[in-house]
Structure 1
């Protein structure tokens, strides 16, 4: 469901980064993430204190959608509007149909999350350029990144100060801002983000042709850190999941199974309940290894 990024660069700008390159190298070394310091890359970068190459992958979204739609077609219903949820100590009834449990993975759009969060409408920009240009993330601070997508000639431009469109406690407010983003706002953000990119990529306008925006909403924990943790909450028979990165699905799976087992008492591993048997069978069917 992913491909390696051919040339993935982390660059520390000389004047706009909050830390110098040597400090950033110490941080990377401390995390244990493999990297290699480099002097040049295939993109003309200016005003750079230093840069490194690290291995990363790009997610193949359409392939993943097709894969899971195919493998889960017997149990998957798409485009269903949830009109009612009623729950007791023994079951959850969704749209009049009874279930043992419900897992809400809407990031707080439906059920409240059990940590303090805010909603951030965002604007990401798509550009077209020649195939094989590097992914470049400028660190650290209020900077930006240019990143490839699964389409070989399409790239994204995102900016720490310019991609967010505000912070809201109410999902309705965040949706209103997202849905009312107009041409003038997009043009303003395009100009601001292009000007930021030109600080280090002088050929940006020549290399990249603007295609259009992506408007979305992020749910983030309240706080100053960029928290990517995975939170799993439980209220009665309803689970709420707020994942940080895509790989935290495995952590969420383990947490939910553990909570279900706690509900059923000490369930023997060799004689699992029928519910756990069903859950594990479905997980195994799509290639997820569970206990």
Structure 2
């Protein structure tokens, strides 16, 4: 019987799992090492609520994002906002996929879009573009929402240091729990699969005027995307945003926290040069504000796979989270185990089938509906 659940990490996954389980009557503790939820990767990203347009080369991620987007809107309608002009564009020369194929993939996946020929800002060297319905996540709203929802189930400023699995429980900080969910992107217990940590640098820019979200796909390209602050945007780049790939979380933090001003200036120059190939008015529209530093966790091998995976070893679950909109997949996997653990054990029973056949046969004989058979059952 599962009644107490410990969760490590108060990112989107930890907060969603914790609040969902709490609403179902479980005794939940969500441990977060920082002073607020959504402090690390969940609060340091491009603030995009995905629909699947980012992943033309991975069907599973597209489907999880497509379905998760609709569920997110139902469950958390006030934690994101609409983007009036949200553009995905396929460059003529540098994309790894042509526009016709990209359009076909999105159509076959069932993701809604509208082809467009004109935009509010000049975009050049493009084979085709489409308007999409992806949204901006409201991180500060989400922090307040989950703080209130979790209440005293949320334990902030606490880094878990003691985990011991026994036969019937998982001891976390000396207390017994029926299940433990590691939602720390592998930083607490690692992952039962090959993965690496990727320190990253996005760039924050400020503007005085509304600007569309513009994402260039697919390949080593770039993206300009709004944040919860209507005047602040992020600039990201597939080749320039990563700061390295390492297998140790401490090394990843060292790289992230050791970024120099010279490196920031070099990244600004490289990313601005890249985006201005397609958005020639970028520097006229934006002023650089500062870097956004974070750490991503990614599986080794298929770098296009950003779907959610959940692994279980005994009473410990490890969540390899993909995009924020796949939180529901993780919840379903954990609930499936909880429900199976609640099934009662039934004693073996003899089947009444033979008795029922004999009874029915005797009744039909008496009614003259069938001829007697030579052999008895």
Report TM bin, short chain: 0.7 to 0.9
1:260 equivalent in alignment to 2:338: yes
CA positional deviation for 1:172: 2.1
Contact map agreement 1:229 1:244 (CA 8 A) in 2: yes
Specify which of 135, 138, 152 is matched with residue 213 of structure 2.
135
Over residues 150-193 of structure 1, what are the superposed CA-to-partner deviations in whole Å (9 max), with x where a residue is unaligned?
11000000000000111112222212211111111111111100
Number of residue pairs matched by the alignment: 268
Whether 2:199 is the aligned partner of 1:121: answer: yes
TM-score when scaled to structure 1?
A: 0.88
Alpha-carbon distance, 1:74 to partner: 2.6
Distance apart, 1:132 and its partner CA: 2.4
CA distance in 2, matches of 1:190, 1:198: 12
CA deviations on 1:68-108 (whole Å, 9 max, x unpaired) are 10111131111112121112121122222222221110011
Q: Deviations over 1:36-78 (max 9, x none)?
A: 1111111111121221111111111110110110111131111
Partner Cα separation in structure 2 for residue 245 and residue 146 of structure 1: 18
Alignment of 1:85-104 (within 5 A): 85-104=163-182
Deviation at 1:131, TM superposition (A): 4.0
Tell me whether 251-260 or 212-221 shows the greater mean CA deviation: 251-260
Aligned pair partner of 1:163 in 233, 241, 244? 241
Matched position secondary structure for 1:181 = coil
Task: Give the CA deviation at 1:267.
Answer: 8.3
Cα distance in 2 between the residues matched to 1:70 and 1:220? 31
How many angstroms does 1:236 deviate by?
A: 2.2
Counterparts of residues 44-59 of structure 1 (less than 5 Å): 44-59=122-137
Q: Whole-Å Cα distance in 2 between the matches of residues 112 and 248 of structure 1?
A: 20
SS of the residue 1:93 aligns to: strand
Match of 1:74, SS state, is helix
Distance 2:298 2:97 in 1: 25
Work out which of the residue numbers 78, 82, 85 in structure 1 matches 2:156: 78
Match of 2:268 in 1: 190
Distance 2:335 2:96 in 1: 42
Uncovered stretches (5+) of structure 2, i.e. residues with no partner: 1-78, 347-377
State the partner residue of 2:99: 21
Hey, what's the Cα distance between the residues in 2 that align with 1:258 and 1:20?
41
Given the alignment, which residue of 243, 252, 255 partners 1:177? Answer: 255
Paired residues for 1:262-277 under 5 Å: 262-266=340-344
- Cα deviations across residues 200-224 of structure 1 (Å, max 9, x unaligned)? 1111111111111111111111113
4+ long deviations beyond 6 Å: none
Alignment deviations for residues 96-133 of structure 1 (CA, whole Å, 9 cap, x no partner):
22222211100110112122111111101110013421
Give yes or no for contact 1:131–1:152 (8 Å, CA) kept in 2: no
In structure 2, what is the Cα distance between the partners aligned to 1:223 and 1:31? 24
Residues in 1 aligned to 2:128 and 2:310: alpha-carbon distance in whole angstroms: 39
Larger of the two Rg values belongs to structure: 2
Does the aligned pair in 2 maintain the 1:88–1:236 contact within 8 Å?
Answer: no
Per the alignment, residue 143 of structure 2 pairs with: 65
Normalized against structure 2, the TM-score is what?
0.68
Distance 1:188 1:267, change over 3 A: farther
Structure 1 residue 141 displacement after superposition: 0.9
Which position in structure 2 is the counterpart of 1:280?
Answer: none
Q: In the aligned structure 2, how far is the partner of 1:135 from the partner of 1:64?
A: 21
Cα–Cα, structure 1 residues 199 and 10, in superposed 2: closer, same or farther, change >3 Å? same
Q: 1:81 and 1:19 mapped to 2: Cα distance? A: 44
